Amino acid sequence: MHELEARGLQMKFGGVTAIAGLDLTVEEGEIRGLIGPNGAGKTTFFNACSGRYPVTAGEIRYRGQKISGMKPHQIAAEGLVRTFQHVTLFKQFSVLKNVVAGNYLHSRHSYWGSLLRTRKTREAEAGSVARAREILDFVGLGALMDQQASTLAHGHQKMLGIAIALAAEPKMLLLDEPCAGMNSDESREMIHLVRRIRETGITIMLIEHDMKVVMGLCDRITVLNFGNEIADGTPEAVRANAQVREAYLGSQAHVA
């Protein structure tokens, strides 16, 4: 059984084909890179996996279960959680409350409990807060717990985005350009964080433009162009692939 599996996946918007018949598998425990020029369909693939947009044809399976057609909150409940390319937070919340909100799936919630503040609810709430503190310490935002999320530096905001996703206790994470807009120090910190997340047993798939990050971090890399897979393999194999070179020379960057 594959961790994540797409078969004949097609995504069309109006007349535009963003993904044209993609087959792809990710195995448990790996860090998989998803690269390709702009408009290759990387983020669209994440949108399909997370249920944000319905798939046009084909199917996606997560741990053997068909998830295409499910709603985003159902997919998150299955253990497949994503982050966003642009900073996506509950901006007016404190850092801690952001992560507590992310822990929704794993904190017992009932309306009567909320109203009457029952012992169970209070315990669940305390558990949720404790878990959120753990996660914040893990990603290195423990000291900024009480700050309002909108006041954080960009790099910290991206970290917080990942902390929110971790609070949903995923078994697999889809990271959409975790290092976008970061300076090299922040980038290094993020790479370190992604490795540590994998060590906790979470499978990771990430989109990244910075080739140094991708080549250094990923076990395997899948290359998309115009909605099709053009290469798949270890970083070395992908680097040597002529088709990949061509795709990238035709667009913006050299494969390092």
Which residues contact another protein by CB under 8 A?
50, 52, 71-73, 76-77, 81-82, 84, 88-94, 96-97, 100-102, 104-105, 107, 109, 111, 113-117, 121, 124-126, 128-129, 145-146, 164-165, 167-168
Q: What's 56's DSSP letter?
A: S
**188 Cβ contact list (under 8 Å, min separation 6):** none
Phi and psi at residue 220, to the nearest 5°: -135, 155
Least distance to another protein, CB of residue 84, Å: 7
Written in H, E and C, the secondary structure of 75-138 is HHHHCEEECCCCCCCCCCCEHHHHHHHHHHHHCCCCHHHHHHCCHHHHHHHHHHHHHHHHHHHH
Strands 172-176 and 80-82: parallel
Smallest separation (angstroms) from another protein to the CB of 104 = 5
Residue placing its CB nearer to another protein in the complex, 57 or 126: 126
Separation between Cα atoms, residue 130 and residue 125, nearest integer Å: 9
Looking at beta carbons only, is 158 or 235 nearer to another protein? 158
Report which residue type is found at 231. Answer: A
Q: Minimum CB separation from another protein for residue 239, in Å? A: 33
Q: At closest approach, how far in Å is the CB of 91 from another protein? A: 6
Smallest distance from the beta carbon of 55 to another protein, in angstroms?
17
Stretch (H or E) spanning 188: helix 184-199
CB of 58 to another protein, least distance (A): 22
Task: Specify the residue, 127 or 233, whose C-beta has the smaller distance to another protein.
Answer: 127
Q: Which is nearer to another protein, 50 or 225 (CB)?
A: 50
To the nearest 10°, report the CA torsion of 14, 20, 25, 30: -70
CB 161 within 8 A of CB 87: yes
Task: Rank residues 102 and 227 by Cβ distance to another protein and give the closer one.
Answer: 102
Q: Which is nearer to another protein, 43 or 50 (CB)?
A: 50
